[in-house]
Amino acid sequence: MGKVKPENEWKFKCAMSGKAIKRRKRYYRNGKYFLNKASYQAFVKKQKDDAAAAAAAAAPAAEEAPKS
């Protein structure tokens, strides 16, 4: 037997907030659905900030490595 989905399960959820999205309000960018343009821009900004933080954390570790 297959799994039974709950009635209130939404097919589309915002990649940023996880809220359910109705068909007429979908904002699709880069393979993901968002509530609106502001949500998409916040997601992009968060990704850039996370990437910059990861690069900053990796840079000192690379400098402190012993050189042979």
Give the residue among 41, 45, 50, 39 at the shortest CA–CA distance from 14. 39
What pLDDT score does 63 carry? 59
At 4, give phi and psi (nearest 5°): -105, 125
The percent of residues above 70 in pLDDT, for the chain, comes to: 75
Give the residue among 46, 20, 54 at the shortest CA–CA distance from 35. 20
Q: Which residues contact 46 (CB under 8 A, 6 or more apart)?
A: 16
- Each domain of the chain, given as residue ranges in start order, spans 12-55
Across 11-15, average pLDDT:
82
Assessment of whether the complete model's pTM goes beyond 0.75 = no
Mean of per-residue pLDDT scores for the chain = 80
Of the pLDDT bands very low, low, confident and very high (cuts 50, 70, 90), residue 46 is very high
Of the pLDDT bands very low, low, confident and very high (cuts 50, 70, 90), residue 2 is low
Q: Dihedral of CA 47/51/57/58: which sign?
A: positive
